[in-house]
Structure 1
């Protein structure tokens, strides 16, 4: 059992947030039902709700509350329900407040530095930044201490093998010169130690990126991690909220099908090569029929494509005209499973290697 402040996980597993619409209440609720932390993505959870095109932020705030409640009903009082909220997205404050009002157990925040997260949710939910270096962990902890007399309740480290937006330079990702996940873990542990001492509380660390088996989970626990965050393997589950066409893209992907893409957020991302990705290589404005004003760094006049539209298309089943974010381990996924089957396999192999 893993203790995170005043809350508990029966298994050392967080399901990574995947948007748009890949991890909503069905996936998150079923992961929590198995004793882990199920995570709902706050990236346009209301994409299929009435009123979304007219007011995306307000609709997504309404949707996040709905999905938190539904996930908790599915979980039947087990595990925890978290929400993943991108700093780079517009409506950040509103989504954080809606998540708290909806009764989430935790807020996990990345795609930028969540320097003001405690301002909106301190004492109302467990708060966790996503970092890719010890330096980032130290900066966030220092700012939280100075501004809010608070320190992270837990931390998620995303390494270079993760899916979606990555906190590394594209040239380092291509060259394979990014810092190894195990080395980042050591740095983050070292940087957080003074804050654990100062605040007299443990700060559990969960590692993510390329973790697809229980043996790897055991290895990181032996290195001092409290647990892991896993996302991509959960796409190929019956309970995942994405369309079957989206899931089939992951099941059928090979190593050669996965590459880094340029995202309008300014971060590199890892995705499956399809017709849409091929188009973005050659020309801009691939999917700019309308602007949802979703990303702070995005300028509609020069963005290569609308990332929200691209993600909405793919999760809805139009996979050749959208973006399918995955981690490196997608090439090793070949069949559908139920969430409880996947978790049981991971936990059993973990136990066998501890």
Structure 2
């Protein structure tokens, strides 16, 4: 049994939040049903709702509440339901409030430093920053303590092998001069000690990025991690909210198909190289027909493409006309499975190696 402050979950697994529309209520609910933490992405959860184009913020907030409710119905009291909210979102505060109103158990926040997350959600849900260095958690913990007399309830460390937006410089990723996940784990745990002592609580740490086996789970748990966050392996599941063409793209990709891309969010990302990615590299500009005003770093008149539109297209099934974010282990996924099968395989191998 894993205890995160006053909440409990049976398994040491967090399902990573994947947007747009990849991890919504079906995936998150079925992960939680197994006793882990299912996570809904706050990146346009209402993309397929009526009225989304006219009022994306209002519709996304309602969709968050709907999906949290539905995920909990699926989970039937098992596990936990979290929401992943990007700090880079223009409507960060609105999505935090909607998640709280929807009754989520946890808010996991990255793509920037969630320095003011406790202002909106302190004491209302478990709060966890996503970090990629000891330096980042040191800053976040100091700010939370000074401004809000609070400290993280748990922490997620995303290493260099994760999918989607990455908290590393692109040149470091290409040159492979980034810090190893095991070293980041050590640094983060050292930084958290002072806050664990001050607030008299244990702060669990989960590692993410390239965790493609139960053996790796065991390795990091031996190094002091409470558990792991897994995302890409859950895409090729029957319960995942993405379209089947999107899932097939994961199953059929090879290591050569996966590369780093530049995102309008101002961060490097890992994705499958398809027609869309090739076009962005050839022309450097894809016309934006409309703007959802969703990302703080994005300047509509200068951005090479709309990342929201690119993600929406791919998850709907137009996989050659949109962006397909994946983790480094995507090429090792070759078949469709059920969520409980994926989790059981991880757990069985973890137990064999502990």
Tell me, yes or no, whether TM beats 0.5.
yes
Q: For residues 287 and 243 of structure 1, what CA distance do their matches in structure 2 show?
A: 25
* In structure 2, C-alpha distance between the alignment counterparts of 1:2 and 1:187, rounded to whole Å: 22
Contact 1:68 1:104 in 2 (8 A): yes
- Counterparts of 1:285 and 1:241 in 2: how far apart (Å)? 30
Q: For the residues of structure 2 that align with 1:37 and 1:214, how far apart are their CA atoms?
A: 17
Q: Which residue of 2 aligns with 1:284?
A: 284
Partner of residue 194, structure 1: 194
- What is residue 219 of structure 1 aligned with on the other side? 219
Q: Distance in 1 between matches of 2:137 and 2:34?
A: 29
Aligned-partner SS, 2:320: helix
1:169 maps onto 2:138 in alignment: no
Structure-2 separation of matches of 1:68 and 1:103:
7
Q: Aligned residue for 1:110?
A: 110
Q: Does 1:338 align with 2:338?
A: yes
Q: Secondary structure at the match of 2:188?
A: helix
Compute the displacement of 1:212 (Å): 1.0
Separation (CA, whole Å) in 1 of partners of 2:131 and 2:342: 26
Note if 1:230 corresponds to 2:218: no
Structure 2: runs of 5+ lacking an equivalent: none
Alignment-derived partner of residue 210 in structure 2: 210
Root-mean-square deviation (CA, aligned residues, Å) is: 0.5
Post-superposition shift, 1:55? 1.0
Q: 2:326: which partner in 1?
A: 326
1:251–1:333 CA contact under 8 A, matched in 2: yes
Q: Does 1:302 align with 2:315?
A: no
Offset at 1:284?
3.4
Distance, in Å, in 1 between the alignment partners of 2:105 and 2:196 is 21
Task: Give the 3-state SS of the residue equivalent to 2:261 in structure 1.
Answer: strand
1:33 maps to what in 2? 33
Work out the CA distance in 2 between the residues paired with 1:287 and 1:331: 31
Equivalent residue, structure 2, for 1:119? 119
Once the two structures are superposed, what CA deviation does each residue of 1:73-104 show, in whole Å capped at 9, x if it has no partner?
A: 00010000000000001110000000000000
Secondary structure, counterpart of 1:310 in structure 2: helix
Kindly provide the CA deviation profile for residues 91-126 of structure 1, in whole angstroms up to 9, marking residues without a partner as x: 100000000000000000000000000000000000
How far does residue 289 in structure 1 lie from its aligned partner after superposition? 1.1
Any conservation in 2 of the 1:170–1:268 contact (CA below 8 Å)?
A: yes
Determine the C-alpha separation between the residues in 1 that align with 2:238 and 2:212: 18
Give the match for residue 137 of structure 2. Answer: 137
> Would the aligned equivalents of 1:285 and 1:306 in 2 still touch at CA under 8 Å?
no
Distance of 2:347 and 2:57 partners within structure 1: 37
3-state SS, counterpart of residue 259 of structure 1: strand
For the 8 Å contact 1:35–1:78, the answer to whether it is kept is yes
Q: Deviations over 1:158-194 (max 9, x none)?
A: 0000000000000110111110000000000000100
Residue in structure 2 matched with residue 239 of structure 1 by the alignment: 239
How far is 1:286 from its partner? 1.5
- CA apart distance, 1:133: 0.1
SS at match of 1:107: strand
TM-fit CA distance, 1:285: 3.4
Kept in 2: contact 1:287–1:310 (CA 8 A):
no
**Alpha-carbon offset, residue 287 of structure 1:** 4.9
Give the TM-score of the pair, scaled to structure 2. 0.99
1:95 corresponds to: 95
Q: Distance in 1 between matches of 2:348 and 2:134?
A: 31
The total of aligned residue pairs comes to 354
In 2, Cα distance between the equivalents of 1:252 and 1:282? Answer: 24
Cα distance in structure 2, aligned partners of 1:236 and 1:286: 29
Per the TM alignment, residue 305 of structure 1 is displaced from its structure 2 partner at its CA by: 0.4
Once the two structures are TM-superposed, the CA of residue 40 in structure 1 deviates from its matched residue by 0.1
Q: CA offsets per residue over residues 230-257 of structure 1, 9 Å max, x none?
A: 0000000000000000000000110100
Gaps of 5+ in 1: none
Q: Is the CA contact 1:284–1:303 (under 8 Å) kept in the aligned structure 2? A: no
Quickly say closer, same or farther: Cα 1:240–1:186, change in 2 above 3 A: same
